[in-house]
Amino acid sequence: MSTNFGAGFHVAPGRAVDASAYDRFTGRWSRLFVPSVLSTAEIASGCRVLDVSTGTGEAALMALPIVGASGFVIGADISPAMLEGARARLNQPLFWPIAADGQTLPFSDASFDSVICQLGLQFFPNPALGLAEFRRVLRSGGSVAVCVISTPDRAPMWGILADALSRFRPALRNILYLSFSLGDPTRLEGLLTGAGFRDIGVERQKREDITESFNEYWDPIEAGIGSIPQSYLTLSDVDRRSVREEVRARLSRFESDGKLLMSVEMLIGRGRA
């Protein structure tokens, strides 16, 4: 069975986003880093903020109270299904969701004070082009902050699943490992430099969280939200069971009293226009 990934790899074309499943599989981890991203981007009252790959609007939601009534946040995403989730979540006059490719942004030069991109850049076909666009739409002196996942071993909730799936669907290995494609700090720093940013830095950050049970971890995977869960759903029932049991066994080292205590490392890159 082939996989038909939708724009942004979130859902198959024509499918609605299960916001709850997205939140439990990705959002619960992503939001732990949003305050650092907003701080790194130097978002303040009155700022004009562009949130690229806004998804369901997690970062935009946290940015709005900071920019206040004199600022605004535009949430851009290539996936119309994800924007529908953002619209439902942020029904506020200072948030504007716009369908846009992060590599060809539909905004004039120097339109924003800050550009943020939370767990999106690693999925760009050409991240260098995306960063060049971020630089173009920033005013002189404006700040960019991007957050990407580190290496698979430092994000076991996704890395172990990707590894198990890659043996059943080797043709999808490149898709399965896109989540970690910018996990090298040196490469991310080089991309920021190449895009023309200055005052560049890349910082490793780690957060921990508790999942109440393996079943709580696994349930959103069955919903197929994200490239890794979508790949899982292409397997036969027998192979799905095999993957599930392998992942359960490999995650057991994080288990205590039935709960999973895991940590994830992200890279937060910054630069100034």
**Residue 261 pLDDT grade (very low, low, confident, very high; cuts 50, 70, 90):** very high
Distances (CA, A) of 236 to 27, 32, 119, 231, 239: 27, 34, 30, 11, 5
* pLDDT beyond 50 at 135: yes
Q: Examine the pLDDT at 16 and tell me if it is beyond 70.
A: no
Higher pLDDT, 16 or 62: 62
- Asked if the model's pLDDT at residue 18 lies above 80, the reply is no
Terminal C-alpha separation, the chain: 45
Closest CA to 59 of 81, 43, 80, 79: 43
Confidence of residue 23 (pLDDT cuts 50, 70, 90): confident
Q: With bands split at pLDDT 50, 70 and 90, how would you rate the model's confidence at 1?
A: very low
Mean pLDDT of 43-71: 97
Strand partners for 260:
211, 255
**268 neighbors 145 (Cβ within 8 angstroms):** yes
- β-pair partners for 76: 52, 98
* Beta-strand relationship, 259-272 and 255-256: antiparallel
Average pLDDT over residues 157-173: 96
Instruction: Kindly state the helix (H) or strand (E) to which residue 231 belongs, with its residue range.
Output: helix 227-233
| pLDDT score, position 2 | 45
Confidence of residue 82 (pLDDT cuts 50, 70, 90): confident
- For residue 80, what pLDDT is reported? 86
- Is pTM beyond 0.85? Reply is yes
